[in-house]
Structure 1
Amino acid sequence: MPVLAENVLHFARILRGAGLPIGTDRVMDAVRALPLAGIESRRDWHATLSALFLTRHEQQVIFDEAFAVFWRDPALEQRMMAAMLPKVAGRMAGLGARASPRVAEAFITNTQPTPAVENPEQIEVDASLTFTATERLKHLDFEKMTGDEWREAKRIVAGMRLPVPDVRTRRFKRAPTGAAIDLAATLRRLARDGGQIARIVRREPRLRAPPIVVLCDISGSMHRYSRMFLHFLHALVRDRARVSVLLFGTRLTNVTRALRHRDVDEAVDAVCAAVPDWAGGTRIASCVHEFNFQWSRRLLGQNATLLLVTDGLDRDDAPGLEVEMARLHRSSHRLLWLNPLLRYEGFEPRASGIVAMRPHVDAFLPVHNLESLRTLGKALSPHSRLSS
């Protein structure tokens, strides 16, 4: 079965190129399991590889597209020796427009070797074309990005900064040209100098960055968007003080400490390991209730801004969501709802969760591409007039 093992390994590389995490151990299990499960039927072949390679439901679409292109030999359904398939080269002819960009890119990358170039010519990069590609990437939906586009988007997000303006506090600091007189400091200096007034001490209000609290949905419908938003939050946590990040699906998890890793990939891996319900269901009402009674007083003081990242699709459809959202809104200085469903033109809030939540937010914003992340800073400005 050497050809069987080689083709299974090649198929695993295709899936890895499309973004599915498949290790060598699963490839070895597949090589051992396929002869035992039976290779007479294409359906059995598909079910065996699917059970061994997939860990989440949303990966099924990518797997099915890659399987249909890679294992499309018609003899696979008719002969038991279908394991002796030829090499994968040439199978791109049947890919067509039905495959997602991630699958198409994975096949091209893993089936076409890069030819060696003798005497390479100097290549000039057209700045206008580079600008056009960057502009396209800014407005490209995270769900439609290929692997290379996803990596480039992560690089851009890592360099983003959230221009949240500092707010005035009730405390003061020394300032040579301050508008107010620091009477206590002036009297102390007067007593120290024997009653001679040398200079009046002045002060001005102290400015401080307001706290930012993020509640991010990590359910299956939000997986692609929340993962990119985690890269944005990593840059935010590293750049600013007093940033708290809590993820919720069926339960609430504080991941602020995990995001403080210097390396963004290590930080995201630590977050995924700390969250047991990643890409599962959603219980918005119970998670918001838990935040209100366990975290609200600790995190939402001193003019804190709350970012709620969710599509509002609640699995339980719990009745107390509107009450919990009203309490959450009263506790926050500003409550911004970031919803990837706003990428659709003519979006109407018909789901019961969205209807219950929307009246209790200060702004209702999209979060589906790089441009939406850039405009988030404008929404956090105290002078913004974004409608809810």
Structure 2
Amino acid sequence: MTGMDARAREPADGIALPMLARNVTHFMRLLRDAGFGLSPAHAVDALEALRHVEIGQRDEVRAALAALTLSGPDQRPLFDAAFDLFWRDPDWEGKLRALLLPRVDAGAPPPRRSNRLADALAARTPEAPPRPQPPAAEERIAIPLTFSAQERLAQRDFETLDAEEWRALQHLIRTRRAHLGLQRTRRLRAATHGTHADLRASAKLAVRQHGEWLRWKYRQHAERKLPIVLLLDISGSMSQYSRAVLYFCHALMQSRERMHVFLFGTRLTNVTRALRERDPDDAVRLITEQVRDWAGGTRIGTALAEFNRHWARRTLSGRATVLLVTDGIDLEDIDLLDAEMARLARFAHRIVWLNPLLRYAGFSPQARGMQAILPHVDALRAAHNLDSLLQLETLLAHATDRTTDHPTDHIKADRQRQKRPSWK
């Protein structure tokens, strides 16, 4: 195995660490970049565990490292692939790159690609140094932009990304952990300090300390995450944006957010369970197999009617916020859409409409479907790039306040005035 030969104890590049220790550290970093929840302490524990096994026995080394790094059975295939590629061949980087290329052997189906290992390799590959530019004929003072590549990518429209930029965007979303708003509850939990003294816990502590009342115990109000319900349009005009929102929702689900996700085109589909997969590529693959109307037509009113009838009472409890992601283009029963939006507004604590068409500066909701949705929403935001999705964290962090903060308040006010009965 690489790094386990007779030269393992020789220092390299002036570093005092043995070659084996350096290889184990690099292997742990690779697993961490691939999505494993590892810390630098795991590398120290791995080196200590390898002292108690036979280094020449490949199976013993694999079992020792697996016992330290694996936290669930779903991580085993990814660990085995990383272990075989890292410790088998010096050209392990080329092997990892080859995972992106499907192969057919003797008519058998190609193996599943490990995109998480490919992303980890891409993150660890150093960039080529820039070439020196020839001196200009005239000396000019130029102030270049300070935006990094990730910031530029976060500002790009989802519809303009190519395949390589999509992979980079997915890796950027995957490595981010969002934390949304918390709701204060009436329940009390143990705390190190506060205003509510816990006499029973303090007395028990005094008994354990031989009657000496040395320290007080306190309790404070517990906080819980606010529930979120996502209604995502997957029609043909929303296909690229829907896929990006799904990856963003997967990151929220991995952050243990209380979230339910429904997709609708011509029918309504609950995909919450599929998004609980650890690998986002596997989650999206399961969703595409489950949903039959992807990139098809749009029946917003019918989908909302089905949601209100079968799912609203089960998911919209506890001051839930509804995220409606659609462009609002619906040519069918507009009266049904208006009635179901009014019913949804009675169930939900707040409705936030995410519309990709807001990327245009002169956007005005002129379509009948948009005008039917607008009076019943509490906020209207854009959803065309990663920056617009990340701004939801600030919006949802104050989910306890029901306010109207979208740029078309005057249109909504006009619609509401038209609905008021005339008493003259």
TM-superposition CA deviations, 1:260-301 (whole Å, max 9, x none) = 112111110100111111111111111111111211111111
- When residues 23 and 350 of structure 1 are mapped into structure 2, their CA distance, relative to the original with a 3 A threshold, is farther
Distance apart, 1:125 and its partner CA: 8.7
C-alpha distance in structure 2 between counterparts of 1:125 and 1:324, whole Å = 60
C-alpha distance in structure 1 between counterparts of 2:274 and 2:329, whole Å = 27
Q: Which runs of 5+ in 1 are unaligned?
A: 1-21, 25-120
Which structure has the higher relative contact order (CA within 8 Å, separation 6+)? 1
Contact 1:340 1:367 in 2 (8 A): yes
Q: Which runs of 5+ in 2 are unaligned?
A: 1-101, 105-126, 133-143, 407-424
Residue 123 (str. 1) matches residue 129 (str. 2): yes
Equivalent position of 2:31 in the other structure: none
TM-score, structure 2 length as denominator? 0.57
Of 151, 154, 158, the residue aligned with 1:135 is 151
C-alpha distance in structure 2 between counterparts of 1:287 and 1:320, whole Å = 10
- When residues 134 and 173 of structure 1 are mapped into structure 2, their CA distance, relative to the original with a 3 A threshold, is closer
Of 187, 210, 235, the residue aligned with 2:226 is 210
Distance apart, 1:242 and its partner CA: 1.9
Of stretches 352-361 and 168-177 in structure 1, the one that deviates more from structure 2 is 168-177
Distance apart, 1:338 and its partner CA: 0.4
C-alpha distance in structure 1 between counterparts of 2:166 and 2:188, whole Å = 46
Equivalent position of 2:33 in the other structure: none
Equivalent position of 1:270 in the other structure: 286
Equivalent position of 1:297 in the other structure: 313
TM-score, structure 1 length as denominator? 0.62
Contact 1:170 1:206 in 2 (8 A): yes
> Equivalent residue of 1:319, what SS?
helix
Q: Which amino acid aligns with 2:293?
A: D
Equivalences for residues 23-42 of structure 1 within 5 A: none
Contact 1:379 1:386 in 2 (8 A): no
> Equivalent residue of 2:301, what SS?
helix
Equivalent position of 2:172 in the other structure: 156
Q: RMSD in angstroms over aligned alpha carbons?
A: 3.2
TM-superposition CA deviations, 1:137-180 (whole Å, max 9, x none) = 22211111122222212221222333312110121112242312
- When residues 214 and 122 of structure 1 are mapped into structure 2, their CA distance, relative to the original with a 3 A threshold, is closer
> Equivalent residue of 1:327, what SS?
helix
Distance apart, 1:386 and its partner CA: 6.2
Of 394, 405, 411, the residue aligned with 1:387 is 405
Contact 2:176 2:251 in 1 (8 A): yes
Residue 332 (str. 1) matches residue 348 (str. 2): yes
> Equivalent residue of 1:380, what SS?
helix
What is the aligned length? 267
- Return the structure number with greater helix share: 1
Of 243, 248, 257, the residue aligned with 2:259 is 243
Distance apart, 1:367 and its partner CA: 0.3
TM-superposition CA deviations, 1:75-102 (whole Å, max 9, x none) = xxxxxxxxxxxxxxxxxxxxxxxxxxxx
Distance apart, 1:222 and its partner CA: 0.4
TM-superposition CA deviations, 1:40-86 (whole Å, max 9, x none) = xxxxxxxxxxxxxxxxxxxxxxxxxxxxxxxxxxxxxxxxxxxxxxx
Distance apart, 1:182 and its partner CA: 4.7
C-alpha distance in structure 1 between counterparts of 2:364 and 2:202, whole Å = 64
Equivalent position of 1:365 in the other structure: 381
Q: Which amino acid aligns with 1:342?
A: L
Contact 1:281 1:315 in 2 (8 A): no
Of 330, 333, 348, the residue aligned with 1:314 is 330
C-alpha distance in structure 2 between counterparts of 1:291 and 1:203, whole Å = 40
Distance apart, 1:353 and its partner CA: 1.1
C-alpha distance in structure 2 between counterparts of 1:209 and 1:178, whole Å = 21
C-alpha distance in structure 1 between counterparts of 2:242 and 2:404, whole Å = 23
Residue 344 (str. 1) matches residue 360 (str. 2): yes
